[in-house]
A and B are shown apart, each in its own frame.
Chain A
C-alpha cells in the first residue's frame, strides 16, 4: 500500500466514522474503534475528528450567544451601536495585494504590471466564477494578461475566501452612539 493509498483509506474510515456518529450508529462506531486498536493513525484520526467536532460546536454556540446578545442589546439598549467586523466582499485589489505579497513564479513582466494596476481596483470580485468566465470578466475590465496570471489570481481569490470563512468568531462590541445635535 502506497502512502497515498493509506491516507485515502484513513480519510474514508474517518468519513465513515463521522457518518456513523451523526446517525448514532453505535455498531459502526464500535467496529471502527476496533480497527483503530490495531492502527495508530486511525486512532489519531478519530480523536482528531472528535476534537474538531467539539470545536465546531463551540464556535456555533459562540455565534448563537453573540447573536442573542446583539438582539438583547438592540432591544434593551437602543442608544447603543453594535459594531461588527466587516464581512465585505473580496475585492480585486485584495487579491492583487495577496499576489503582490506572494507572487507566483515565472510570471511575465506584463502580468506584474497589470497586478500593480489591480492593486488599486476596489471592485468586488464576482462569486463562483470558473477560470474561463473569470478571464472573460477581468480582461474586459482590466485588460489582457497571461492565463497563468489569471490562474494564480483565481487561486489567491479562493485562498482569501477560505481565510475569511475561517474567521468564524466574530468579535462584537457595543458602545454608545454619539448624541445627535440638539438631543439632551
Chain B
C-alpha cells in the first residue's frame, strides 16, 4: 500500500478530504471527465465534464467512510467513482456504449507475447511482429523502434521527437492498439 501526501490543514485521518482539498487531484478529475466525454462536441463537453467531476467529488465526500486504503490510493478510488458517475449519466440518457467490448483476448495476448519477445531478444525478436510494424505509418514505426528496439523511456522519446511526454503516451497507445487489431484480424483469418 502506498501512502499519499496530505494537504496541510486537512484532517490527518481523512485521506479523502485531503485529496479533495488538493487542487491537482480535482484538476485531474476534470481532465479525466473531459477525456471520457470525448464523443461530445467541445461546447457540451466542457461544462458537462465540470458538472460530472463535481458530482464525483460530492459522492466521494458522502461515501468517504467506504474508502479502504488497503485496496489502493485515493486517486484511483476517485477515478473509479468518476467512471460510475459518467456511466450513470449516460444511463440516464438511455445512451448505450457505442461498441460493446468484443473481448479480443487473442489480439491482446499476441501483442503481449510478440512485444515481449522483441523486448527480450532485441532487434532479432521483431521477426514475428515486423510485417505488422511495416504496415504502420512511418511515425508510428519510429515510435515502436524507439520504445521496443532502442528501449527508450517516454521522456527520451519525447526529447528525440520534440513532442510532449503526454503526447508520447497517447501516440504509443494508439500505435499498439493498431498493432493489436492487425494481429487480431490475422488470427481470425487464419482461424477461418
Contacts of A45 in B (CB 8 A): 169
Rounded to whole Å, the gap between the CB of A19 and the closest CB of chain B is 6
Rounded to whole Å, the gap between the CB of A87 and the closest CB of chain B is 15
Rounded to whole Å, the gap between the CB of A16 and the closest CB of chain B is 7
**How many residues on the B side are at the interface (Cβ–Cβ under 8 A)?**
60
Whether B130 is near chain A, meaning CB under 8 Å from some CB there, is no
Closest to B71 in A: A37
Rounded to whole Å, the gap between the CB of B187 and the closest CB of chain A is 17
Whether A152 is near chain B, meaning CB under 8 Å from some CB there, is no
* CA of A30 to CA of B75, assembled, Å: 13
B112–A15 touching, CB < 8 Å? no
Interface string of A16-58 (1 = CB under 8 A from B): 1111111111111110011011101001011111111111110
Known contacts: A14-B173, A38-B72, A54-B31. The answer to whether A159 contacts B167 by CB under 8 A is no
Contacts of B31 in A (CB 8 A): 47, 50-51, 54
A55–B172 touching, CB < 8 Å? no
Rounded to whole Å, the gap between the CB of A55 and the closest CB of chain B is 6
A161–B139 touching, CB < 8 Å? yes
Contacts of A179 in B (CB 8 A): none
* CA of A48 to CA of B165, assembled, Å: 8
Contacts of A4 in B (CB 8 A): 119-120, 151
Contacts of B99 in A (CB 8 A): 23-24
Contacts of B160 in A (CB 8 A): 159
Closest to A158 in B: B142
Whether A169 is near chain B, meaning CB under 8 Å from some CB there, is no
B75–A15 touching, CB < 8 Å? no
Contacts of A26 in B (CB 8 A): 83-84, 86-87, 97
Known contacts: A23-B99, A55-B164. The answer to whether A61 contacts B42 by CB under 8 A is yes
B83–A29 touching, CB < 8 Å? yes
A163–B161 touching, CB < 8 Å? yes
Rounded to whole Å, the gap between the CB of B130 and the closest CB of chain A is 12
Contacts of B108 in A (CB 8 A): 12, 16
* CA of A30 to CA of B120, assembled, Å: 31
Contacts of B12 in A (CB 8 A): none
A162–B32 touching, CB < 8 Å? no
| 8 A-B residue pairings within 8 Å (CB atoms) | A5-B116, A30-B80, A49-B166, A50-B32, A51-B166, A52-B166, A53-B35, A54-B35
When A and B form their complex, which 6 residue pairs have the shortest distance between CB atoms, in order from nearest? A37-B72, A37-B76, A52-B170, A52-B166, A50-B35, A24-B97
Q: Which residues of A are in contact with B by a Cβ distance under 8 Å?
A: 4-5, 7-8, 11-12, 14-30, 33-34, 36-38, 40, 43, 45-57, 61, 128, 158-159, 161-163, 165-166
